Amino acid sequence: MHFDLLVVGAGPAGLSAAIRFKQLCKEKGQDLSVCVIEKGSEVGAHILSGNVLQPTALEELLPEWRDDADCPVHRQPATASRFYYMTSKFGVRLPNPPQMKHKGNFVISLSETVRWLGRKAEELGVEIFPGFAGAKVMYGPGGEVHGVQTNDFGVGKDGKRKDSFQLGMALTARATLLAEGCRGSLSQAVMKRFGLREKAGAQPQTYALGLKEVWEVAPEKHKPGLVVHAVGHPLPWDVYGGSFIYHMPDNRVALGLVVALDYRNPHLNLFQEFQQWKRHPMVSRLLEGGTCLQYGARTLNEGGWQSIPSLAFPGGALVGDSAGFLNVPKIKGTHTAMKSGMLAAEAAFNAMTSQPAGKPLDLSAYETSFKSSWVDQELFRERNIRPSFSLGAGIWGGIAYSALDTYLLRGQAPWTLRHRYADHERLKPAAECAPREYPKPDGQITFDLNTSLFRSQTNHEHDQPPHLRLVNPKLPEVVNLPVYDGPEARYCPAGVYEWVTGEDGGKQLQINAQNCLHCKACDIKDPTQNIRWTVPEGGGGPSYTVM
């Protein structure tokens, strides 16, 4: 199947690109086709974000959104902001950093919001195919990106075709936009093939894992629109991260813990750290008597301005978190992702209507427009905040530098701090680090992993080739286990990696791929970079509805 524009990923960046492209078609009287493929079972099923939306890009894309009764964004304006330093028992109120003031923003469920964006895209004539995972990039005779091949359906674990077999589709396009989100598998392949990180002189991308729940709390405890951020407990002083509590509409509260993946202690268990955070009196008092509705986890880019790769490649471009546009101090990336999709769509439309047919499209105009946009200016201004926490002085050193950069230098320092290491290079040997102990869950506020996974509604066809692959199957047993005490069992928030006793009495790594939340933490943090995350059959994975 051939389209003019192919978008991989129905998140905020991909759908904004599709909408903007169709708007231009309507404005200019052009009949050009747009296809969006999405690996989730439906639009929004794989979308997770603790989200207080800055509506800048939404205002530009759909100015009438406030008058749309179907739009979920305007249901809950942010009404107040608070910032705390948490000790093990108390929360100390601190002044709100300027980046964390939320006047004019909205507390949303991003999975609900992208469903609405999907409907707006379809109204404009965009074809959206949920349940179709982009398995590999197709290249033309000149090496340019020519489209995407989707996964085959109905292949068993043994690699043989089952009765239900369906051949994957070859989707070709004049321009392909990769909007897969953080650490997208196709985006990683394209960056490597075309040397996009090297071309831009980009520093290593750094990441964090966000673990999130949505609760329904007692009405008397609910404060609609309240936005709370905190640093400190339960994370060690040298681990970058923080927590959030967002009061949504309908007595719902979104809460979570974000942990930077450059942490050094392999004993750190990210799921258990999240449970430990909920035991804090400031959190537990809010949740007592409430009901946990949903659980999930997802990685996010934290590298910022200095880690952005070259955005355009022959035949396409990277948009949204495939490239990494999160504003870390603001803890916001939806508005920047949407704007990047809009800019890429404009470049693609202009290229299609001005460049000769039959030749690879040059989308370098997207790169140019991005560098003159408010997104680049915003990310440049905040570029030194995140790396300041890795200078060796821990959380307080980072906070002190951030205050200097924000209030005195106003983001215009004559230097740019570097990200010197990739996250997988940071783990210390287990023998050099103190173990961490975690209490058992109480089943009321804290939960075991299986209970939480049930709330994510994650599901995969069991009889299919594993989508999590070890390049060297023996490497975990000879490196990860003896040196790092098997860290994959602790950085994965879904119990995918489990060390079991084999027939010979030794420990073996068992991969429970059916548990996977598609968070990509394993692909990022594995110290030997031996794990390859690939897409499973389309439609597999979590099924988020309010995340």
Give rounded-to-5 percent helix, strand, coil for the chain: 35, 25, 45
Please give the single-letter amino acid code of residue 36: V
Local confidence band at 297 (pLDDT 50, 70, 90 cut-offs): very high
Mean per-residue pLDDT, 73-93: 96
CA torsion angle 22 23 26 32 (round to 10): -20
Q: Determine contact, residues 524/183, Cβ cutoff 8 Å.
A: yes
Write down the pLDDT at residue 291.
98
Biggest alpha carbon–alpha carbon distance for the chain: 70
pLDDT of 347 > 80? The answer is yes
| Alpha helix stretches (DSSP H) within 66-225 | 110-123, 185-194, 196-200
Write down the pLDDT at residue 124.
98
Q: The tokens of 212 are what?
A: 């999130």
For residue 28, give every residue at least 6 positions away whose Cβ sits within 8 Å of its Cβ, in sequence order, or none: 349, 353
Region of 457 please: left (phi>0), alpha (psi -120 to 50) or beta.
left
For residue 152, give every residue at least 6 positions away whose Cβ sits within 8 Å of its Cβ, in sequence order, or none: 135, 165, 166, 167, 168
Q: Determine contact, residues 363/343, Cβ cutoff 8 Å.
A: no
Which residue from 346, 295, 338 is spatially nearest to 116, judged by alpha carbons?
Answer: 338
Q: Tens digit of pLDDT for each residue in 213-269?
A: 999 999 999 999 999 999 999 999 999 999 999 999 999 999 999 999 999 999 999
Local confidence band at 208 (pLDDT 50, 70, 90 cut-offs): very high
Local confidence band at 106 (pLDDT 50, 70, 90 cut-offs): very high
| Averaged pLDDT of the chain | 96
Write down the pLDDT at residue 79.
97
Write down the pLDDT at residue 227.
98
pLDDT of 148 > 80? The answer is yes
Mean per-residue pLDDT, 486-500: 97
Of all residues in the chain, the percent with pLDDT exceeding 90 is 95
Mean per-residue pLDDT, 301-326: 97
Count of CA atoms in the C-beta half-sphere (13 A) of 524:
27
pLDDT of 346 > 80? The answer is yes
Write down the pLDDT at residue 503.
83
pLDDT of 145 > 80? The answer is yes
Task: Count other Cβ atoms within 10 Å, centred on residue 209.
Answer: 27
d(CA 498, CA 408): 49
Cα 320 from chain centre = 10
Whether this prediction's pTM lies above 0.85 is answered by: yes
For residue 358, give every residue at least 6 positions away whose Cβ sits within 8 Å of its Cβ, in sequence order, or none: none
Q: Return the minimum-mean-pLDDT range out of 102-116, 147-161, 312-326.
A: 147-161
DSSP codes of every residue in 177-222: EE---TT-HHHHHHHHHHTHHHHHTPPPP-EEEEEEEEEE--GGG-
Mean per-residue pLDDT, 26-40: 97
pLDDT of 360 > 90? The answer is no
| Dihedral sign from CA coordinates of 172, 125, 133, 60 | positive
Of all residues in the chain, the percent with pLDDT exceeding 70 is 100
Mean per-residue pLDDT, 470-492: 97
pLDDT of 358 > 80? The answer is no
pLDDT of 322 > 90? The answer is yes
Write down the pLDDT at residue 505.
85
Write down the pLDDT at residue 355.
84
Domains and CATH numbers, the chain: 2-69+112-204+304-381 (3.50.50.60), 74-110+205-301 (3.30.9.90)
pLDDT of 132 > 90? The answer is yes
Mean per-residue pLDDT, 116-123: 98
Q: The tokens of 67 are what?
A: 């008058």
Write down the pLDDT at residue 416.
97
DSSP code for 74: G
Query: Where in the sequence numbering do the catalytic residues fall?
Result: 49, 298, 334, 492, 516, 519, 522
End-to-end CA distance of the chain: 33
